[in-house]
Amino acid sequence: MYLLSVLAVLVVISSIPIVLSDSMRGDFTIPNWVKNTAGWWSDDKIPDSAFIETIEFLIKDEIIIVKIPDLDSEVVEEVPGWVKNTAGWWAEDKIHDVAFVNAIKYLISQGIVYVEREQVEEPVEEVVEIKDFYMEINGGNCCLNWAYVNEEYRFEIETLDKKRGNYIDGVEINVKIISKGGELRHDFGQVTTEDGVYRSSITIPSLDWYAGNILFVTGEYYGVEKTIEKEFEVFYKKSTNSSSCHTVNPLSVASQDNTPRGIAFSSDGRKMFIVGSAGDDVNEYALSISYCLSTASYVDAFSVASQSENPVGIKFNTDGTKMFVVGDNAHTSHVNEYTLSTGFDVSTASHVDAHNVFSEEKDPRGVAFNSDGTKMFVVGKTNNGDNKAYVNEYTLSTGFDVSTASHVDGFLIESQENLPTGLAFSNDGTKMFVVGNTGDDVNEYTLSTGFDVSTASFIDAFSVTSQETVPIGIAFNSDGSKMFIAGETGDEVNEYTLTTTFDVSTASHK
């Protein structure tokens, strides 16, 4: 009777498509412990529930792949007894694994054996609500962060989601241009971004906008407020071709200071600085062409009177964030150090510290540094040891920090100049130049070790008396092909061309 029942089931199963997992194709096996369980169940040693748990294991591990019907477990009848016989024969290896598995699959598909199905949660589409936004000025390849007088300054403002990935349309923004001092220069009013972008421009009206402007933007989107700003510079002329520099030689600075004492340039030659004792201040000029005096225009002045009653020399570090002024304050000789929050912008300067050089030099006249600021040099006419003119050398344990300076050595220049007024070096420190009033000339020295004054030796001198009888300050352009002398006789700056760089014997005035 049992055999006929099983045969009937197998006949039916043979007509059902067989779906096997990858592990059941070819030489597949079911774990031995499953056979043991099937044998125990057929012998009534374990309950139906234990055997059903085994079937659930086979399904979850995809040994058996079968679609579970959507049936209520409460209406499913008990497992037929003949199934136990089939399980027992399989456990005794009297029928093949495939026959047993197909029988079980048939029972499940017909709802005779109920197996709990895994509940798969349907994905819920997330609704994203924008609660934040981001603004950017001149992002990507748009626009330049500088402009020229009488030409357009163009800008672009982007509004994006907080992930900076998608443009947000319709953000209300207010756009203004202000100076670094907070003065309103132009108000574009309230505007709205279209497709996440607002573009506009303005023609720069005058050089009054020189030396720093801020594009100031505020935005609001669904109650969220943001502020962003971008600095941009304004220059006088667009041309930067040195060949277009027409000669203006000398350049008068009398309108700003009728007693100029020292001269310096920014690293790119687009700024010139004159320190003078008439106003005890540093005067800043903009040059639209590097080192071209004819393009110079006055910008601003910074008073150093609180630190130096008679400022006579000036130098900057490489990026212009430090300024040094040497002078005499109540008969105490100091090198005063200033920080500039914007490089080479004296309007942002503030006094930091000072180094007293009175022990070495009672009457300092010029100051210079090596390239990394770990050496400082002070030239003067009254050395405290023998009241003669010297160039004194100092080491700084922290570059361009005068509070860390200590005296090293001094080099006597009395034989060439007993009234020195200015000091400069070549880029590598193997040339030193001292300008003075004894011969109204520039004295050139070679140093066998760069920036080591103990290795200096005199080479030559170049007279400037035809242009200036009281030369005070000296500076060179970046490659040493130009030399600039500031003087008191004409309250002016004279420019000289050197056919051999940093060789004053090849200098000429045009």
Q: What is the mean pLDDT of the chain?
A: 82
In angstroms, how far is CA 175 from the centroid of its own chain?
25
Which region among 52-56, 398-402, 423-427, 480-484 has the lowest average model confidence (pLDDT)? 52-56
Residue 128: per-residue pLDDT: 47
- Compute the C-alpha angle 322/328/329, nearest 5°: 95
CA atoms within 13 A on the CB side of 109: 16
Residue 211: per-residue pLDDT: 60
Task: Provide, rounded to the nearest whole percent, the portion of the chain with pLDDT above 90.
Answer: 45
Q: What is the Cα–Cα distance from 329 to 379, expressed in whole angstroms?
A: 17
Q: What is the Cα–Cα distance from 340 to 315, expressed in whole angstroms?
A: 13
Q: What is the DSSP letter of 303?
A: E
Q: How confident is the model at residue 79 (pLDDT cuts 50, 70, 90)?
A: low
Q: What average pLDDT score do residues 320-331 get?
A: 82
Residue 24: per-residue pLDDT: 41
Q: Which is more confidently placed, 86 or 412?
A: 412
Exposed (0-12), middle (13-18) or buried (19+): which is 93, by Cβ within 10 Å?
Answer: exposed
Q: Where are the domains of the chain?
A: 2-109, 133-235, 246-509
Beta-bridge partner residues of 267: none
Q: Which is more confidently placed, 28 or 20?
A: 28
Which region among 36-50, 216-230, 235-249, 310-324 has the lowest average model confidence (pLDDT)? 235-249
Which region among 236-245, 266-275, 456-465 has the lowest average model confidence (pLDDT)? 236-245
Pairing assessment for the beta strands 471-476 and 482-487 based on DSSP bridges: antiparallel
Q: What average pLDDT score do residues 29-52 get?
A: 79
Residue 425: per-residue pLDDT: 97
Q: What is the Cα–Cα distance from 338 to 354, expressed in whole angstroms?
A: 9
pLDDT for residue 48 is more than 80: no
Alpha helices by DSSP H, listed for 43-96, are: 48-60, 81-91
pLDDT for residue 247 is more than 80: no
Q: What is the Cα–Cα distance from 335 to 320, expressed in whole angstroms?
A: 17
Exposed (0-12), middle (13-18) or buried (19+): which is 95, by Cβ within 10 Å?
Answer: middle
pLDDT for residue 465 is more than 80: yes
Does residue 477 sit in helix, strand or coil? coil
For 50, the token pair is 């234990």
Residue 243: per-residue pLDDT: 52
CATH 3.10.20.590 fits 246-509, yes or no: no
pTM greater than the 0.85 cutoff: no
pLDDT for residue 20 is more than 70: no
Q: What is the Cα–Cα distance from 202 to 186, expressed in whole angstroms?
A: 9
Beta-bridge partner residues of 216: 176, 229
pLDDT for residue 137 is more than 80: yes
pLDDT for residue 143 is more than 80: no
Pairing assessment for the beta strands 146-148 and 224-235 based on DSSP bridges: parallel
Residue 322: per-residue pLDDT: 96
Q: Which is more confidently placed, 182 or 463?
A: 463
pLDDT in tens, 297-323: 999 999 999 888 889 999 999 999 999
pLDDT for residue 153 is more than 50: yes
Exposed (0-12), middle (13-18) or buried (19+): which is 389, by Cβ within 10 Å?
Answer: buried
Fold of the 133-235 domain:
Immunoglobulin-like (2.60.40)
Highest averaged pLDDT of the listed ranges 89-93, 121-125, 227-231: 227-231
Q: What is the DSSP letter of 468?
A: -
Q: What is the DSSP letter of 48?
A: H
